[in-house]
Amino acid sequence: MVLLFATALGCQLSLAHHAQHPEPLKDHPYYELKKDHHPQAIGKSYFGREIASVMGYSGVEWLERDSREQEEHLSKLIQTLPLKPGMVVADIGAGSGVIAQRIAPKVAPKGGVFAVDIQKKMLRRLIKKAKAAGITNIKPVLGSIRSPKLKASSVDLAIMVDVYHELSHPLEMMQSLSRALKPGGLVVLVEYRAEDPEVPIKKLHKMSLAQIKKELSTPPLGLKFVKVDQRLPRQHVVFYRKISQQSSSSPQKTTPKPAKKP
Ligand SMILES: C[S@@+](CC[C@H](N)C(=O)[O-])C[C@H]1O[C@@H](n2cnc3c(N)ncnc32)[C@H](O)[C@@H]1O
């Protein structure tokens, strides 16, 4: 299955060239340009927050560091997620697949994980690592800066670990992701707590819960706040649900439909 996924990736690599072309930054009235910006920011703000630059491939060893479990309690993070066999999960900004690899066995054998990233090098490493670990239900997807390139109504749960704050086009990305969720589907943001000065991460790469709520409650996204889980030592785990036509009139119809394998 990994081989099949690799072929699918090969078909999508040609899209990357286009996706990574420099583009005008202020391409939506929600965004503001900042001339005098943080050196690690892209010079664009959204709801008053400076958007951080994307972590490049050189950061991959930090993502895979042995101390990550001890520092961030990744196993506890996985426990916060309502994962069941058969579910379709999207790991947006999957990097080299640290999170996708932990989710994949929980939804196997019939479910799977779409591992979306905009960096081909990250996806190549993810494929290699999944293969070495014998995991066959992770499908790499080359997304663009505006869209995860997933089919409409195809995903039960989407997760972004340390990713949202570095989306160059958060509005377009989240609109597209919302379309990819099934009715009642969940989106989970995991971000370092800006409220806590003890969290040893630069301010630009942290988010407060108030800021997350401000941004994610934007009506065009069609998302509704569900809860925040604070059991992790460094990060907020924030849950949103897709608001569907059915959910406003009849809440019981929002139960996710049986999942299909990616
Ligand atoms: C800090 S890394 C986190 C990787 C992974 N989630 C983890 O925790 O190990 C952020 C990742 O998000 C990706 N990314 C940034 N913007 C993206 C976008 N618009 N769509 C998909 N991935 C994106 C980057 O390429 C990078 O691999």
Query: What pLDDT score was predicted for residue 120?
Result: 98
Q: How many CB atoms lie within 10 A of CB 48?
A: 9
What pLDDT is attached to residue 46?
96
pLDDT of residue 23: 58
Measured CA to CA, the distance from residue 91 to residue 117 in angstroms comes to 9
- Give the nearest ligand 1 atom to 98 CA: 9
Nearest-5° Cα angle at 126, 123 to 128: 115
CA separation for the pair 120, 56 (Å, rounded): 11
pLDDT of residue 25: 63
Task: State the helix-helix crossing angle for 120-132 and 98-107, rounded to 10 degrees.
Answer: 50
Confidence of residue 26 (pLDDT cuts 50, 70, 90): low
Using CA atoms, how far residue 160 sits from 34, 164, 172, 215, 250, in Å, is: 25, 6, 15, 15, 29
Atom of ligand 1 nearest to the CA of 145: 19
Joined tokens for residue 252: 């019981």
Taking only the tens place, the pLDDT of each residue in 80-136 is 999 999 999 999 999 999 999 999 999 999 999 999 999 999 999 999 999 999 999
Judge contact between 215 and 175, C-beta under 8 A.
no
Helices within 108-204 (DSSP H only): 120-132, 170-180
40 three-state secondary structure: coil
Q: Look at residues 191, 167, 187, 158 and name the one whose alpha carbon lies nearest to residue 91.
A: 158
Burial (CB count within 10 angstroms: exposed 0-12, middle 13-18, buried 19+), residue 77: buried
Q: Please report the pLDDT score of residue 20 as a whole number.
A: 40
pLDDT at 8: 35
- pTM, two decimal places: 0.86
> pLDDT for 143-190, tens place per residue?
999 999 999 999 999 999 999 999 999 999 999 999 999 999 999 999
CA of 114 from ligand 1 middle (Å) equals: 13
Q: CA 188, CA 179: separation in Å to the nearest integer?
A: 15
**Ligand 1 pocket: which of 18, 89, 166 to mutate (most atoms within 8 A of CB):** 166
Test site for ligand 1: of 117, 175, 205, most ligand atoms within 8 A of the Cβ: 117
Handedness of CA 44, 145, 138, 82 (dihedral sign): positive
Tell me if 116 CB under 6 Å of ligand 1.
yes
- Is ligand 1 within 6 A of the CB of residue 107? no
pLDDT recorded at residue 3: 35
